[in-house]
């Protein structure tokens, strides 16, 4: 795969139908095959979206929850209802 092909035709620049887990799973499998990485990918980092977790599992890839996303959700839960929190701009 040439670097020019990667830049002009990369996975990130394509319009994908990610409306449900089946379409997402198909996209994952197609791109793993296209980039010849099917045997090398053993896990994927996912957020807590049900469709994404299901798609990754259906593609027979282990799913690992994103620690940063999990911490953010915990922080949001802890701050919910707290009125004296000031927004700090850095």
pLDDT band at 16 (very low <50, low <70, confident <90, very high): low
In the block, residue with structure tokens 């994927």 = 44
With residues binned 3-state (H G I as helix, E B as strand, rest as coil), the percentages for the chain, rounded to 5, are: 50, 10, 40
> Against a cut of 0.75, is the pTM above it?
no
**φ, ψ at 26 (rounded to 5°):** -60, -40
The model's pLDDT over 41-61, given as tens digits with 9 standing for 90+, comes to 989 999 888 888 999 999 999
DSSP 81: T
When mean pLDDT is compared across 16-30, 43-57, 59-73, the lowest value belongs to 16-30
Q: What pLDDT is recorded for position 5? A: 46
Q: What pLDDT is recorded for position 49? A: 86
């Amino acid at each position: 795969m040439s670097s020019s092909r990667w830049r002009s035709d990369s996975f990130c620049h394509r319009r994908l139908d990610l409306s449900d887990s089946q379409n997402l799973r198909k996209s994952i499998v197609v791109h793993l095959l296209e980039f010849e990485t099917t045997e090398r990918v053993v896990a994927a980092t996912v957020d807590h979206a049900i469709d994404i977790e299901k798609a990754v599992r259906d593609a027979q890839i282990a799913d690992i929850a994103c620690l940063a996303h999990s911490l953010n959700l915990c922080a949001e839960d802890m701050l919910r209802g707290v009125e004296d929190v000031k927004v700090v701009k850095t």
